[in-house]
Structure 1
Amino acid sequence: MLVRTKERGIYRRGKRYVVRARIHGVEHKFAARSMEEAKKIKLAAAVAPEQLRAEREAGSTRRAPLLNDYVETWLRRYRGRTDRGIRESTKHEYRRDLELHVLPSLGRKRLDEITPVHIRQVVDDLLSGDPPLSPASVRNAIAPLKALFASAVEWGHLQSNPAREVRLPGTQRGTKPKTLTEAQLKRLMRALPPEGRLLVEFLSVTGVRAGEAFGLCWHHVDLHNLRASIECRRRGKEIGPPKSASSHREVRLSPKLAKHLAQARKRRGAALADFVFVTPGGFPIDHHNFMARVFRPAATAAGVPWAGLHALRHTCATRLLRNDVSAEKVALLLGHSSPGFTVRVYGHLGS
């Protein structure tokens, strides 16, 4: 975010400065490490604009690394945009999204060679891919690239952030969350192997977030009283607290689900400290491997290729509300911050 200074045309961004100057009617931005340097750039833009632009572009070309190389530098130094910092699991997700969706197209380009047109092409390719990504997934894929360029500007490695000029696909206002019908859910369950079937049943019955299920251990589960405590979530190899204070909660188990959980635990001889949802080899399920190797093939076979794990959460919420469970109760079960949020997401069910 640019903050005005007392000097016209000079702005502050973090610990650095940005000079905005018009050259032949086109606005250019120049990074500076100090106010003194910024004033010199401002003067040069007024008296010798072409020379300034040529010198800055030449200097930038010599310094700019390949995006492939810069990703590691950025992930090592990046501390997030807030005082809370950034989790290592989030950095892991950023690296994965960049390697999977961005670097194949842009990795061998230098930072200062990448334009909004290049990024727009990546967005279009992701939206029209096989399979296509949803608008939300595209926004998640481009978010770390945008943050990387913002850091490059802040650290003086770039003059401007090309990703800021790219309009990302949005979710249309009033769009209803996608849910599975009971028939679709049954087809999906039949297409899954046993370990995937138990996880999908748990998600669709309880409505918990995927990370909350992956972090669930047997000592969190009370099969006798048909409940489970959500006390943590697992993202990659990192185990941390749930998403928010309201996410610490108890969820209800159906008798059928409790029976299936008891059978799975007995079959494995699981200890209380063990994760509930594991691979056939006994290892904790990795979210992305599970999606690629188990869930998506099963969803395609079941005729619901668009479905993801979050659709199971929506399916649970929809079922509860259609059975006249109050928004207040549903908000508690899902770990929403307020019943108002639940109503905003699922209010169409009351119409």
Structure 2
Amino acid sequence: MRGSIKKDGNSWNVVFDLGKDPVTGKRKQKRKRGFKTKKEAEKYINEQLNAIDKGTYFEPSEITLSEYLDYWLENHAKPNTAHRTYENYQYMINLHLKPVLGPIKISKLQPSHLQEYYAQKLSNGKIDEGGLSAQSVKHHHRLIFKALKDAVKWQLIVRNVAEAVTPPKTRKVEMQTWDNEQVKVFLNVSKDSPYYPIYLTAINTGMRRGEVLGLRWQDIDFDNNIVYVRQSLQEVKNVGLTFKEPKSGKTRSISVTPSLIKELKKIYKQQLENKLLIGQGYKDLDLVFAQRNGKPIQPTEMARNYRKIVDLSGLPYIRFHDLRHTHATLLLKQGVHPKVVSERLGHSTIGITMDTYTHVLPNMQKEAALLLEQLIK
């Protein structure tokens, strides 16, 4: 081992060789004190020597926030997050964080630096002109908080200064949904659209757009009218369309109506005909909703058609994602237990469902009161 471990009273100290200084030619050593056990000291020195061998070692006191964020992106975010999440982190770091906070040494970063950064981004944070939204700045705060939390865990800094900073408050946007009559109008107008089965599935299941477009035939239990959510389609910059696990990372099951199953069987029959006609040119990915040649449906193409259908229907515009909210709202208004709705949506806890759909609860409270009055009259 290119280092040593010594006991000093009740703690352990380490010293290891950093190699020669390129300027002076003298051998450089690093010392660190205060390890509670010999095992902790051995683990630390082995990690540092391994980093030196790989060329990824750096002095915590000297590294800038810019250098650390590059290191964090490559060694933590890239292998541990979805590709799109990594791209978002990369965008925020390179276009926003590094130009303003990058030159500051990570050991010298103070809460005031972050508070001033948030204020600056709110007033003049856009690349062209104008300020970023409070929600966008809050995303920056979450990224910084996570990156610095890892820096503390890796013993690069003593504390996470982001803990002492208050991110900007965000205004809760009122949810936009359709009622049951509006849903009927939309589905009726979209009947002739090639994407009608997708809209029908989204409204009937509450699945996210990527989950619907990633649905496979192997994920459908036709005998029991159950759809399993096991993968999601996503569009990644410089990569194209790829598949990933659902947002929750877990498979979930959704019971569906016989009428939806009937519609899906029609698609299956049509796909068999397409396979026979196209032959070897058919790209069989087992997708329920696919182009005529079997390839995944382009989300942007479907989005344009969705907008067109909403305009034709004369309904107030809601996003495609709001079909998911519409699904949940209609069920809750019909008295379906929030736990069931939570499971259909794939929320990790029922609390998320209750917080998201608080706008429905007052009506449910009124109906509950009226039902109770009828029971005790």
TM-score, length of structure 2 as denominator length? 0.54
SS at structure 1 position matched to 2:328: helix
- Give 1:73's match in structure 2, choosing from 71, 89, 100: 71
Q: Relative to structure 1, is the Cα distance of residues 74 and 282 closer, same or farther in structure 2, using a 3 angstrom cutoff? A: farther
- Note the alpha carbon deviations across 1:172-208, whole angstroms, 9 max, x for none: 5xx8644234538956996999565543332221112
The aligned counterpart of 1:266 is: 270
Instruction: Check the 8 A contact 1:176/1:345 in 2, yes or no.
Output: no
How far apart are residue 120 of structure 1 and its match? 3.8
The aligned counterpart of 1:276 is: 288
Q: What CA distance in whole angstroms lies between the structure 2 residues aligned with 1:193 and 1:109?
A: 52
Q: Relative to structure 1, is the Cα distance of residues 215 and 170 closer, same or farther in structure 2, using a 3 angstrom cutoff? A: same
Q: Relative to structure 1, is the Cα distance of residues 154 and 250 closer, same or farther in structure 2, using a 3 angstrom cutoff? A: closer
Instruction: Confirm or deny that 1:295 pairs with 2:303.
Output: yes
Q: What CA distance in whole angstroms lies between the structure 1 residues aligned with 2:220 and 2:252?
A: 14
SS at structure 1 position matched to 2:336: coil
Q: What CA distance in whole angstroms lies between the structure 2 residues aligned with 1:159 and 1:339?
A: 36
Question: Which runs of structure 2 are paired with 1:75-224 in the superposition (5 Å)?
Answer: 75-78=73-76, 87-89=80-82, 92-101=83-92, 103-109=94-100, 111-113=102-104, 115-116=113-114, 117-122=116-121, 139-140=138-139, 142-152=141-151, 155=154, 163-164=162-163, 165-170=165-170, 177-181=175-179, 183=182, 194=193, 197-222=196-221
Matched to 2:259, the amino acid is P
Q: What CA distance in whole angstroms lies between the structure 1 residues aligned with 2:346 and 2:63?
A: 48
CA RMSD of aligned residues (A): 5.1
Percent of residue pairs identical = 19
How far apart are residue 79 of structure 1 and its match? 7.1
Matched to 2:202, the amino acid is L
Matched to 2:72, the amino acid is W
How far apart are residue 316 of structure 1 and its match? 0.3
Matched to 1:97, the amino acid is N
The aligned counterpart of 2:44 is: none
How many residue pairs match? The answer is: 282
Instruction: Check the 8 A contact 2:342/2:353 in 1, yes or no.
Output: yes
- Note the alpha carbon deviations across 1:23-47, whole angstroms, 9 max, x for none: xxxxxxxxx984569xxxxxxxxxx
The aligned counterpart of 2:364 is: 350
Q: Which has the higher contact order (CA 8 A, sep 6+)?
A: 1
SS at structure 1 position matched to 2:182: helix
User: Gaps spanning 5+ residues in structure 1: where?
Assistant: 1-31, 38-58, 81-85
Instruction: Check the 8 A contact 1:320/1:330 in 2, yes or no.
Output: yes
Q: What CA distance in whole angstroms lies between the structure 2 residues aligned with 1:193 and 1:133?
A: 41
How far apart are residue 219 of structure 1 and its match? 1.6
Matched to 1:255, the amino acid is S
- Note the alpha carbon deviations across 1:194-236, whole angstroms, 9 max, x for none: 5655433322211124453344211212457543223444566
Q: Relative to structure 1, is the Cα distance of residues 160 and 137 closer, same or farther in structure 2, using a 3 angstrom cutoff? A: same
Matched to 1:262, the amino acid is K
Q: What CA distance in whole angstroms lies between the structure 1 residues aligned with 2:117 and 2:354?
A: 39
- Note the alpha carbon deviations across 1:315-342, whole angstroms, 9 max, x for none: 1011122233343443443344566654
Q: Relative to structure 1, is the Cα distance of residues 220 and 271 closer, same or farther in structure 2, using a 3 angstrom cutoff? A: farther
Matched to 1:295, the amino acid is A
Matched to 2:245, the amino acid is G
Instruction: Check the 8 A contact 2:177/2:318 in 1, yes or no.
Output: no
SS at structure 2 position matched to 1:78: helix
The aligned counterpart of 2:248 is: 243
- Note the alpha carbon deviations across 1:83-107, whole angstroms, 9 max, x for none: xxx7441xx2332223445532334
Q: What CA distance in whole angstroms lies between the structure 2 residues aligned with 1:335 and 1:208?
A: 9
TM-score, length of structure 1 as denominator length? 0.57
Instruction: Check the 8 A contact 2:178/2:326 in 1, yes or no.
Output: yes
Q: Relative to structure 1, is the Cα distance of residues 72 and 208 closer, same or farther in structure 2, using a 3 angstrom cutoff? A: same
SS at structure 1 position matched to 2:255: strand
Q: Relative to structure 1, is the Cα distance of residues 153 and 321 closer, same or farther in structure 2, using a 3 angstrom cutoff? A: closer
- Residue range with higher mean Cα deviation, 98-107 or 202-211: 98-107
Matched to 1:76, the amino acid is E
Matched to 1:201, the amino acid is L
User: Gaps spanning 5+ residues in structure 2: where?
Assistant: 1-29, 36-58, 237-241, 276-281, 366-377
Q: What CA distance in whole angstroms lies between the structure 2 residues aligned with 1:192 and 1:166?
A: 49
Q: What CA distance in whole angstroms lies between the structure 1 residues aligned with 2:264 and 2:213?
A: 17
Instruction: Confirm or deny that 1:327 pairs with 2:338.
Output: yes
Q: What CA distance in whole angstroms lies between the structure 1 residues aligned with 2:222 and 2:185?
A: 24
The aligned counterpart of 1:227 is: 226
The aligned counterpart of 1:7 is: none
